[in-house]
Amino acid sequence: MNAGDAASPSLQYVQLLREYWQHNGEEALICAADLGKKLVHAGLPPEDIGEFQQQALVTLGRDLPAIALEEVAERITPPLIEVLVAYGLAFREQTELRYALDIEKRMEQNHKMEALGTLSAGIAHDFNTILGVILGYTEMTLDLAPVGTPTHRNLQHVIAATLRARDLVARILAFGRRSEICKTPVRIADSLDESLAMLGMTLPPSVVLRTELVQSDLVVLADPGEMQQLIVDLTINAVHAIAERGVITFALDTVTFDPATQPAPPELPPGEYVRFRVRDSGCGISSSVIDRIFEPFFTTKAVGHGSGLGLSVVYGIVQRMGGAISVKSELGHGTEFEMLYPRFIA
């Protein structure tokens, strides 16, 4: 039998059912298996396969008006099952392949971040020493310059700029930090309150902040200062992404990963996690750069407006907490950062 490769899958299906109805042929069953696989590659979702089969059956039934549909269905059960089984196997294979590729991509990303962390921490460390020398000598010279003279004023500018540079270097070091930080139980809802209070007046009134705290008592092990920094960095990015008016939503709940029902992301062991999501209705992130946003120094902002360190610091903080961070975004439709932290239960 030739089910006709050029025909649409639904037409092929009806043809092979008809063939089976007429001849009970082995060949129709082989075609059914092929069709099952083809449906997966054509992107038919599992929830639609039942409807797809029903349609084919009804179409075949129209050829055989004298016979009840149940009877038709009963006689063509083997190819119906064959399609389903082949579909199921191919679907599973495709899902596993996607999952494997996803793991590979994430591992690669983790290695890259680790290498960048080591590299930038090394440079930052040396740089810090040099800045210390600049600062020390400038302060000494400042003491020699009479107050009110241009030299005194100029040296004050040098000191201010050096302190800004030190601040920047501290952030690079924060990203590359490997050592264990001082972790204590932290209620994320409290960190959120504190961070938003800290940002307070700097947030434009056209940006609405919303919280969806399904559970407000969730505790994680973290450095409280780092947790605040993370929230501040994500919020500032969201504010930047919202050109005029918009909403930033902070959502907190839990999720439990279990290999049997809901597998964990590749880098996390199974268990209960606190899920913290920061969503904005801003400009979104283009797919051409989304893979790079966590890299240190990656920025799409104009020179002087972004250091490209915010998200790399956030990434480092989440890593040190034994968690994971991911991002979903659609250009023009906003962005959502999702963080998963191991839940701490006292």
Q: What are the C-alpha distances in Å from 313 to residues 133, 233, 257? A: 26, 9, 26
Q: Taking a C-beta distance cutoff of 8 angstroms, is the pair 199, 167 a contact?
A: no
Q: Interface with ligand ADP includes 293 (CB under 6 A)?
A: yes
What secondary structure letter does DSSP report for 65? Answer: T
Among 52, 127, 257, 298, binds ligand ADP (CB under 6 A): 298
Give 28 or 283: the residue with its C-beta nearer to ligand ADP: 283
From the list 263, 217, 247, the residue with the least C-alpha distance to 335 is 247
Give 61 or 306: the residue with its C-beta nearer to ligand ADP: 306
Structure-token pair, residue 111: 């290695």
Q: Give Cβ neighbours of residue 82 (< 8 Å, ≥ 6 apart).
A: 29, 32, 33, 36
Cβ-closest position to ligand ADP? 310
76 binds, among Mg ion, ligand ADP, none (CB under 5 to 8 A by kind): none
Give 15 or 237: the residue with its C-beta nearer to ligand ADP: 237
In single-letter form, the type of residue at position 201 comes to: M
| Shortest spacing between CB 7 and ligand ADP, in angstroms | 45
Long-range contacts of 300-304, Cβ-Cβ distance < 8 Å, separation of 24 or more: 301/240
- C-alpha dihedral (167, 172, 176, 180), degrees to nearest 10: 20
Q: Interface with ligand ADP includes 308 (CB under 6 A)?
A: yes
Q: Interface with Mg ion includes 310 (CB under 5 A)?
A: yes
Q: Interface with Mg ion includes 246 (CB under 5 A)?
A: no
Give 220 or 313: the residue with its C-beta nearer to ligand ADP: 313
Helices 46-63 and 9-23, axial angle in degrees (round to 10): 50
Sites for ligand ADP among residues 233-272 (CB under 6 A): 233, 237-238, 241
Contact region with Mg ion (CB under 5 A), list: 166-174, 220-228, 230-238, 314-322: 230-238
Among 25, 266, 306, 342, binds ligand ADP (CB under 6 A): 306
| Shortest spacing between CB 318 and ligand ADP, in angstroms | 13
By three-state DSSP, how is residue 172 classified? helix
Q: Interface with ligand ADP includes 300 (CB under 6 A)?
A: yes
Q: Interface with ligand ADP includes 281 (CB under 6 A)?
A: no
Contact region with ligand ADP (CB under 6 A), list: 55-63, 128-136, 142-150, 302-310: 302-310
Return the beta strands (E) in 109-234 as ranges. Answer: 184-187, 207-213, 219-222
Residue 337: in which H helix or E strand, if any? strand 335-342
> Binding residues for ligand ADP, per CB under 6 A?
233, 237-238, 241, 280, 282-283, 285, 293, 298-301, 306-312, 335
> Binding residues for Mg ion, per CB under 5 A?
237, 310
